[in-house]
A = this chain, B = another copy of it.
Amino acid sequence: MTAKAVVLLSGGLDSATTLLIARESGFELHAISFDYGQRHAVELDCARSIATAAGAREHQIVKIAFPAAGASALTDPSIPVPRHALHREPIPVTYVPARNTIFLAYAVSWGEAISAFDIFIGANALDYSGYPDCRPDFLEAFEKTVNLGTRAGAEGARFRIHAPLLRMTKGEIVRRAAELGLDFASTSSCYDPGPEGPCGSCDSCLLRARGFEEAGLVDPKRSET
């Protein structure tokens, strides 16, 4: 029987690449996305296309309400998304409190119910926005926590949190995605896309552009703008 993996799929480049890595590793794919009132809800349409294209067995979109939506530029339209300012502060205003803790907790909850003990997340600790919930020590501590706090863990199963992009540069991620045949046009990375596509100036757009540049490839999304 093929082992199952739950893959966090935002619809961005990193999570799409992670999904294809999980597939290449032989897992049956169970993708999970979150509708949390993010500015970039177009990501969810991308997530649907990516999951279908990857042949995911299931794709669940969970609607969640962050208890403090006003705490982040990603969930509060009145807070401007920083422009042209990569890594300006240690942790930017696009940080959503405890987001990956919540997302991973949902993934584990689903995983436990369907006996999928391999959880994949596209966290990256090298070329990233400085979010603390993308760091290796957080992911290790979370893995330990859920192995203690679940029935499956108590009964001998072992959850593993896989973050295959953790130590890759953005250029390496883009190259890996290209090798795996990712349709880049189906992904959306922008924090604040307009009707014409990505803004080109938020942290996430700047990181994506750096990735394509390093990889020596052209981003089909960029050429649209």
Chain A interface residues toward B at CB < 8 A: 32, 60, 62-68, 70-71, 90-91, 95-102, 105-110, 112-114, 132-133, 135, 137-138, 141-142, 144-146, 148-151, 153-155
Of the candidates B99, B106, B135, B145, the one whose C-beta lies within 8 Å of that of A102 is B106
**Chain B hits for A64, CB < 8 A:** 64-65
**Chain B hits for A106, CB < 8 A:** 67, 98, 102
Chain B residue with the shortest CB-CB distance to A148: B138
| Central interface residue in A144, A145, A146, A153, by most chain B CB within 10 Å | A145
Chain B residue with the shortest CB-CB distance to A135: B148
- Measured CB to CB, the closest approach of chain B to A89, in angstroms, equals 10
Interface of A is mostly: helix
User: Are A101 and B145 touching (Cβ within 8 A)?
Assistant: yes
- Provide the bound-state CA to CA distance between A141 and B159, in Å: 15
Q: If the complex has contacts A106-B102, A145-B138, A145-B141, are A97 and B67 also in contact, measured as CB distance less than 8 A? A: no
**Chain B hits for A95, CB < 8 A:** 151
Q: If the complex has contacts A62-B65, A62-B67, A71-B113, are A150 and B102 also in contact, measured as CB distance less than 8 A? A: no
**Chain B hits for A145, CB < 8 A:** 101, 138, 141-142, 144-145
- Measured CB to CB, the closest approach of chain B to A69, in angstroms, equals 9
- Provide the bound-state CA to CA distance between A150 and B96, in Å: 9
**Chain B hits for A148, CB < 8 A:** 132, 135, 137-138, 141
User: Are B102 and A102 touching (Cβ within 8 A)?
Assistant: yes
**Chain B hits for A68, CB < 8 A:** 109-110, 112-114
18 new A-B contacts at CB < 8 Å, known A97-B150, A101-B149, A141-B148 = A66-B109, A67-B107, A67-B110, A68-B110, A71-B112, A91-B155, A97-B108, A98-B112, A98-B146, A99-B109, A101-B145, A102-B105, A105-B105, A132-B149, A138-B149, A141-B149, A144-B145, A145-B145
